[in-house]
């Protein structure tokens, strides 16, 4: 383990105050010995840097998929007092509400036999992907405002979804406090032609099979049975979200000086939560988050159209299991030292994992806790978990978000070519469709921490518990 | 190429070295377009841009952020940069070609330019900077 980091439990490590100058609280992260071998010193330094920010409550936290990012580490979770604390775009990232959703189906593996290649090809045609992808639809500025303020609600109103989709989505697919006036004309210009596009990089759309059920009652509540085909969509807020982050980073850079906040990294630029600058960022970020939910909803609509046409089944037979955000800041109520407080919780590469009975959970999941969806890397297992009371106590109701990289993109490309990878996956029965072989190589499974080890740690610590293992059948990469 | 990609697990970290501040900024811009779109040639597209900022690092950060915006909304890939970088501002005349999915869609989307570790250094007659692109 990195020098100065102390063991605090079987899977738990503490970064003591003093690890970097100015820390207000300790850092704490969850990791197994195996995962510890790939932990970068830079990631621990970033975790400690977050602990220096004003008004941080509890610990600066990181999940087992912790890795070196910019500003906050990826896998980072930090909560700030609403009065004394700050809000920072560096704790959310450029891809605001990058997230993932899972759609169930009545199909089984047998139904896919003979139709899988055609199905992937049809979805690839229907969902714009890759660098420079443009929406097949022409939207007005009024539509864009609707997406930013009402998120999935706008989609359902305009025929891109079912009323039940609203319920089965974090925040019901719409964050409050969205302020379109805080979103620049530039961000709008980028968002307008990109609605309903997947993007590129680590974003994907997968056809998966529920290979193993690990918690039968919870899986039943989520409508998942062994052998069932599901569809997973992983993407975010596209150029609109990137521009919102860029614009407000500039504003908050100035605010950091204005409010006399001293920081070890410029990327942590921040302002008091309740300051005009802090509120303006939150309002714009909420718009981008809503746009991302609408984006995933519009892609869902296209997937349903293709699946309905191919198999003759209704949209209602392709229900949304749940949709979770990976990069977001929220005003939430948490109990700290026996007292309930409103906090501004940042999750950067981390998933909300609210336990049974918590607020904002649809009635159908009230008893089991919210579904948590953890995407694997290309060609590896994804997992369905559920939120827990332990997460509420230990991590402000948060858990991991995915596998986490261990190899740089340059190294990954040296190790395997995209073509060789595509052929290797085809032998395993996994069909891959992408714009470029280069992106396939960059996103090779070997470039990521094993997702099974990451979810094993959160399950053992109790930050969320395993419900089902999903295996890829077909992959669409941007 | 006058930039190199360094090892970084999550994002793309490029190191740029140049004989002048103008070349440093131009090479950083070329690195950005190279990561996003791969090969590019000057085919008559011209874009002009001015940027103002309080310090050299912010100027580079804001210039590169502006290029992400231009690439996204104008559908252009730029490869030749005539720059005049001054104290607190820069002006640029930039040349390239229209975005072509068949040629350019296989690159890596850069989501933003990070301030983390962004520091322009000058030793002897060489300017240098490491820029972290969030991808």
pLDDT lower than 70: segments of chain B: 1
Would you tell me how many other CB atoms lie within 10 Å of the CB of residue B54? 12
Return the pLDDT at A58. Answer: 97
What is the number of structural domains in chain B?
Answer: 1
| Inside any domain, residue B8 | no
User: Do residue B106 and residue A435 have CB atoms under 8 angstroms apart?
Assistant: yes
Q: How far is B80 from chain A (nearest CA, A)?
A: 20
DSSP class of A405: B
Domain ranges of chain A: 6-406+448-477
**A6-406+448-477: what fold?**
tRNA-splicing ligase RtcB (3.90.1860)
> Is B4 inside any structural domain?
no
Nearest to A200 among B5, B62, B108 (CB): B108
CATH classification of the domain holding B64: 3.55.10.10
Q: Nearest Cα to A242, choosing from A182, A203, A286, A288?
A: A288
Residues 6+ apart with CB under 8 A from A363: none
Q: Using 50, 70 and 90 to split pLDDT, how confident is the model at A399?
A: very high
Partners of residue A171 on adjacent β-strands: none
Region A423-450 average pLDDT: 86
- A383-402 average pLDDT score: 97
Task: Tell whether the model's pLDDT for residue A215 goes beyond 80.
Answer: yes
What DSSP assignment string belongs to A444-455?
-GGGB--HHHHH
A206 assigned binding-site residue: yes
**How much is the average pLDDT of A381-385?**
97
Determine the 3-state secondary structure of B108 from DSSP: coil
By DSSP bridging, strand A99-108 and strand A228-235 are: antiparallel
Residues with Cβ < 8 Å from A426, sequence gap 6 or more? A432
Using the predicted structure, report yes or no on whether residue A249 has a pLDDT greater than 90: yes
Q: Is residue B64 part of a domain?
A: yes
What pLDDT does A443 receive? 83
What is residue A271's three-state secondary structure? Answer: strand
Asked whether the beta carbons of residue A436 and residue B134 sit closer than 8 angstroms, the reply is no
- What domain range is B45 assigned to? 13-134
Q: Which of A246, A254, A264, A442 to mutate to test the interface with B (most CBs of B within 10 A)?
A: A246
A401 is catalytic: yes
Contact B9 A130 (CB under 8 A): no
- Range with lowest mean pLDDT among A401-405, A426-430, B94-98, B108-112: A401-405
Residues of A in contact with B12 (CB under 8 A): 409
Q: Do the Cβ atoms of A131 and B106 come within 8 Å?
A: yes
Beta strands in A200-305 (DSSP E): 204-213, 228-235, 271-272
Contacts of A351 (CB under 8 A, 6+ apart): A324, A325, A326, A372, A373, A374, A398, A399, A400, A401, A464
**Per annotation, catalytic residue among A67, A168, A248, A401:** A401
Q: How high is the ipTM of this complex?
A: 0.94
Nearest to B112 among A40, A242, A408 (CB): A242
> Average pLDDT for residues A355-373, to the nearest whole number?
95
- Distance from B108 to chain A by nearest Cα, in Å? 6
Q: Is the pLDDT of residue A478 over 80?
A: no
pLDDT at A407 over 70: yes
| CB-based contact, B58 to chain A, within 8 Å | yes
Contact A91, A50 (CB under 8 A): yes
Which residue in the block uniquely carries the two structure tokens 């990561």? B35
Whether residue A13 contacts residue A2, with contact meaning beta carbons closer than 8 Å, is answered with no
Which pLDDT score is estimated for B2? 79
């Amino acid at each position: 383990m990195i020098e100065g980091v102390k063991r605090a439990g079987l899977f738990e490590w503490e970064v003591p105050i003093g690890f970097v100058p100015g820390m207000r609280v300790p850092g704490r992260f969850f990791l197994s010995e195996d995962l510890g071998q790939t932990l970068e010193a830079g990631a621990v330094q970033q975790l400690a840097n977050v602990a220096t920010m004003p008004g941080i409550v509890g610990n600066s936290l990181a999940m087992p998929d912790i890795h070196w990012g910019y500003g906050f580490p990826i896998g980072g979770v930090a909560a700030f007092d609403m009065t004394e604390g700050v809000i920072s775009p560096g704790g959310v990232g450029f891809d605001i509400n990058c997230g993932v959703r899972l759609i169930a189906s009545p199909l089984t593996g047998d139904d896919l036999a003979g139709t899988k290649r055609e199905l992937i090809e049809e979805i690839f045609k229907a969902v714009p992907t890759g660098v420079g992808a443009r929406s097949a639809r022409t939207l007005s500025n009024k539509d864009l405002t609707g997406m930013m303020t009402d998120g999935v609600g706008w989609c359902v109103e305009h025929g891109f979804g079912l009323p039940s989709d609203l319920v089965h989505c974090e925040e019901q697919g719409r964050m409050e406090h969205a302020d379109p006036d805080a979103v620049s004309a530039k961000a709008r210009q980028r968002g307008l032609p990109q609605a309903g596009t997947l993007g590129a990089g680590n974003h994907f759309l997968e056809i998966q099979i529920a290979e193993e059920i690990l918690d039968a009652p919870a899986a039943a509540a989520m409508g998942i049975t062994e052998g069932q085909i599901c569809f997973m969509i992983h993407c975010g807020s596209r150029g609109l979200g990137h521009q919102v982050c860029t614009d407000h980073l500039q504003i908050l850079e100035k605010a950091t000086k204005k409010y006399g906040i001293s920081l070890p990294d410029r990327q942590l630029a921040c302002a008091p939560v309740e300051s005009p600058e802090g509120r303006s960022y939150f309002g714009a970020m909420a718009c981008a988050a809503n746009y991302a939910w609408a984006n995933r909803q519009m892609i869902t609509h296209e997937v349903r159209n293709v699946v309905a046409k191919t198999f003759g089944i209704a949209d209602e037979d392709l229900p949304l299991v749940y949709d979770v955000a990976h990069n977001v800041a929220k005003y939430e109520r948490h109990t700290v030292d026996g007292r309930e407080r409103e906090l501004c919780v940042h999750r950067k590469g981390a998933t909300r994992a609210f336990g049974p009975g918590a607020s904002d959970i649809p009635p159908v999941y009230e008893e089991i806790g919210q579904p948590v969806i953890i995407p694997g890397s290309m060609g590896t297992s994804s997992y369905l978990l559920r939120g827990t009371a332990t997460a509420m106590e230990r991590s402000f109701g948060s858990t991991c978000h995915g596998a986490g990289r261990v190899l740089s993109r340059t190294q990954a490309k040296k190790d395997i070519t995209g073509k060789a990878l595509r052929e290797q996956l085809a032998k395993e029965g996994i069909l891959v469709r992408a714009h470029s072989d280069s992106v396939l190589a960059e996103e090779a499974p070997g470039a990521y921490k094993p997702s099974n080890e990451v979810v094993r740690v959160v399950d053992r610590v109790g930050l969320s518990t395993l419900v089902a293992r999903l295996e890829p059948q077909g992959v669409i990469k941007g | 190429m006058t930039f190199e990609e360094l090892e970084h697990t999550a994002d793309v970290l490029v190191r740029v070295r140049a004989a002048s501040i103008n070349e440093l900024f131009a090479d950083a811009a070329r690195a950005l377009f190279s990561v996003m779109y791969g090969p590019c040639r000057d085919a008559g597209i011209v874009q002009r841009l001015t940027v103002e900022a309080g310090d050299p690092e912010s100027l580079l950060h804001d210039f590169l952020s502006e290029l992400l915006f231009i690439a996204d909304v104008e559908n252009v890939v730029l490869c030749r940069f005539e720059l005049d970088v001054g104290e607190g501002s820069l002006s640029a005349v930039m040349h390239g070609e229209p975005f072509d999915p068949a040629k350019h869609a296989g690159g890596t989307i850069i989501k933003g330019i990070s301030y983390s570790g962004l520091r322009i250094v000058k030793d002897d007659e060489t300017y240098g900077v490491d820029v972290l692109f969030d991808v």
